[in-house]
């Protein structure tokens, strides 16, 4: 079950990573992120936020992968990073529920829930 959860997490997180990189580089997808306040290309600050998000997602992918394959001790980066990914996802759920952008909510809320469940599955695995 752990490896399946890992595969689901990595697949979804990689899609998020690609999206964040695209937005950071100027893809006109502002209606799908950051509350949809900036349809089209995000302003400079919004693109910077997307770049930071891409780095965070990359760290989560690394931590969850290491945890899934038992490449860590209980107090290691992998274990702690996986739990941080879980908490981050828990906090992201209500944010995506209340976003004023219906398109953002429809796209990302299911993804966030899948990320939460899959990261939690890996986190609680032995």
Using one digit for the tens of pLDDT, what is the confidence trace for 54-95? 999 999 999 999 999 887 666 799 999 999 999 999 999 999
pLDDT of residue 71: 78
Phi-psi region of 76 (alpha: psi -120 to 50; beta: other; left: phi over 0): beta
Q: Which of the four pLDDT bands, split at 50, 70 and 90, describes residue 1?
A: confident
Q: Which of the four pLDDT bands, split at 50, 70 and 90, describes residue 6?
A: very high
Q: Measure Cα distances from 69 to 1, 17, 81, 94 in Å.
A: 12, 21, 14, 30
Total count of domains within the chain? 1
How is residue 74 annotated by DSSP? T
Structural domain harbouring 59: 2-124
Q: Is the dihedral of CA 76, 79, 85, 87 positive or negative?
A: negative
pLDDT of residue 2: 87
pLDDT of residue 99: 94
pTM equals: 0.92
Q: What is the mean pLDDT of the chain?
A: 95
């Amino acid at each position: 079950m752990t490896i399946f959860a890992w595969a689901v997490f990595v697949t979804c997180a990689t899609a998020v990573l690609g999206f964040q990189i695209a937005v950071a580089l100027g893809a006109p997808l502002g209606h799908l992120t950051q509350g949809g306040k900036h349809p089209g290309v995000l302003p400079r600050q919004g693109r910077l936020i997307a770049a930071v998000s891409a780095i965070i997602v990359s760290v989560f992918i690394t931590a969850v992968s290491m945890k899934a394959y038992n490449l860590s001790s209980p107090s290691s980066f992998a274990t702690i990073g996986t739990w941080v990914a879980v908490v981050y996802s828990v906090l992201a759920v209500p944010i995506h529920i209340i976003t004023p952008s219906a398109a953002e909510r429809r796209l990302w809320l299911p993804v966030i829930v899948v990320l939460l469940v899959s990261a939690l599955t890996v986190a609680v695995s032995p």
